[in-house]
A and B are shown apart, each in its own frame.
Chain A
Amino acid sequence: DAGITQSPRYKITETGRQVTLMCHQTWSHSYMFWYRQDLGHGLRLIYYSAAADITDKGEVPDGYVVSRSKTENFPLTLESATRSQTSVYFCASRAGAHTDTQYFGPGTRLTVL
């Protein structure tokens, strides 16, 4: 199916564990993004990528690692999860310019105990 998918949709983990959230898009969009959404903060950018092998930090990158070896995949890893990383995580992709539509995945709800 065409589109942007995220997995898992729900995840419960413990403090200190490593967690990887997956994101896959089928459009060959150049740009991909990871956001977290918390009450009162809207969507905050964690990391983004302009193309394969090109990544850069967003507003809140601490504690997260990304990679983009293939255009269609953009995994987000929490190296040692903390309770403050409990959130809903959204992946997004965009073809190019700022005025293009940015498409969002359905989100991953992560709980860190």
Chain B
Amino acid sequence: AQSVTQLGSHVSVSEGALVLLRCNYSSSVPPYLFWYVQYPNQGLQLLLKYTTGATLVKGINGFEAEFKKSETSFHLTKPSAHMSDAAEYFCAVTYSGSARQLTFGSGTQLTVLP
């Protein structure tokens, strides 16, 4: 079984400050990890993903995440927050198998303060 825990349902940062959204996963097999962003009344947009290879993954809009197996973490960071980053962010896990459903965390609502 696999699961995802996102620490902090709400995170507030000032514009220009570092964004750090935390994600820890549990998986009995090597995981594939994703970060998605959701704007109000919209679907999910893929920010970045880790499957194999380099553990530091760069995504869209200046976001990046690092897969740390020893810490079972996949935290999302952005050096400088922008007002347009305000949205809900979801971490998700799946694995290499024939039926690869995504298991999502409960989400983190990011607020960017002017």
- A, B from the same assembly: no
Q: List the interface of chain A (C-beta within 8 A of B).
A: none
Q: List the interface of chain B (C-beta within 8 A of A).
A: none
